[in-house]
Amino acid sequence: MSPLRTCALFALSLTAATAVSAQQAPTYDVYAVRYATIAGFPVRGLIAGADTSRRMDIAMTVWLLRGNGRTVLVDAGFYRDKFVQRWKPVDFVSPAVAVTRAGVKAEDVTDIIISHIHWDHADGADLFPNARIWIQKEEYEHHVGAMGGALDRAIDPDDAKMFADLAKRGRVNQIDGDSVQIIPGITVFTGGKHTFASQYATVATKGGTVVIASDNAYLYENLDTHRPIAQTLDSLSNLAAQERMTRLASMPRLIIPGHDPAVFTRFAKPGNGVAHIE
């Protein structure tokens, strides 16, 4: 066989292999699922330097990723009565009930990515009996003691005990660092510094890469005005993380903030508290 023909066949086989690989690359359908609203929340608690008189109704949300044989949640919301009584959320349902609006039963959830250990994102982890938990190693070790004690005021004592119990049952995966693909098509990143080692996630979809910012960017306004979140351990790191999100996402509209009710108007379908991010 001539060298030219050999090169041509090699190039053809490489092109075919690349095409097959692209077809097999895992993608997910991404949904925001709203399980409650906290009315009249002070915007100064969300955006650094915001007018102290501003208030808004914020969305309490978990994110559902379906595909590649997995049903994944990013964050698990809250359900314990002490939080409900303290914050008095409007239209509250348990996150395990909320995901049924998207056709998912609690027992069907295979994985939960915990962006950070605050009660409104982590408290519901034990609602999903078959899910493996993914959390940053430094986040876990900074907040949860070996016997289940709370090592930092950022974590609720009941949630610290819950995580320790889940870890004893072999259900907690501790992620060691930044830019780690934990599940095919899903990668987590650190640096947002909402908590000691908060993380956010990118998700491969048919329409491009979606960034689930969680509380590393509370609102679209953080991103649009280049303002750090009000509750951060390092404002400069938080801004750097937001800038990185713009490079990671296929387009700016696919960066999804943690508490902005506008998510459910920008992505209005299918409705009933569920937004398909596409």
Q: How far apart are CA 220 and CA 13, in angstroms?
A: 45
Q: Please give the average per-residue pLDDT across 80-84, as a whole number.
A: 98
In a domain, 3, yes or no: no
Confidence of residue 23 (pLDDT cuts 50, 70, 90): low
Confidence of residue 25 (pLDDT cuts 50, 70, 90): confident
3-state helix, strand, coil in the chain (%, to 5): 35, 30, 35
Q: What is the pLDDT of residue 92?
A: 98
Q: How far apart are CA 243 and CA 249, in angstroms?
A: 10
Residue, of 262 and 9, whose pLDDT is higher: 262
Q: What is the pLDDT of residue 1?
A: 52
Question: 169 burial class (0-12, 13-18, 19+ CB within 10 angstroms)?
Answer: exposed
pLDDT by residue (tens digit) across 226-255? 999 999 999 999 999 999 999 999 999 999
Number of domains present in the structure of the chain: 1
The separation between CA 224 and the C-alpha centre of its own chain, rounded to angstroms, equals 20
Out of 10-24, 156-170, 256-270, least confident range: 10-24
For 203, residues 6+ apart whose C-beta sits below 8 A from its C-beta are 28, 30, 65, 185, 186, 209, 210, 211, 212
In a domain, 2, yes or no: no
Q: What radius of gyration do the chain's Cα atoms show? A: 20
The tokens describing 187, both together, are 């990668």
In a domain, 9, yes or no: no
In a domain, 111, yes or no: yes
Q: Please give the average per-residue pLDDT across 145-153, as a whole number.
A: 97
In a domain, 10, yes or no: no
Q: Please give the average per-residue pLDDT across 191-203, as a whole number.
A: 98
pLDDT at 19 over 60: no
Q: Please give the average per-residue pLDDT across 148-153, as a whole number.
A: 98
For 115, residues 6+ apart whose C-beta sits below 8 A from its C-beta are 74, 75, 121, 194, 198, 199, 200, 201, 212, 214, 215, 216, 258
Contact 67, 183 (CB under 8 A): no
Q: What is the pLDDT of residue 209?
A: 98
In a domain, 20, yes or no: no
In a domain, 15, yes or no: no
CATH number at residue 134: 3.60.15.10
pTM of the model: 0.91
In a domain, 5, yes or no: no
Identity at 45, one-letter amino acid code: G
Q: What is the pLDDT of residue 12?
A: 45
Q: Please give the average per-residue pLDDT across 20-39, as a whole number.
A: 84
Structural domain boundaries, residue 225: 25-277
Cβ neighbours of 221 (radius 10 Å): 18
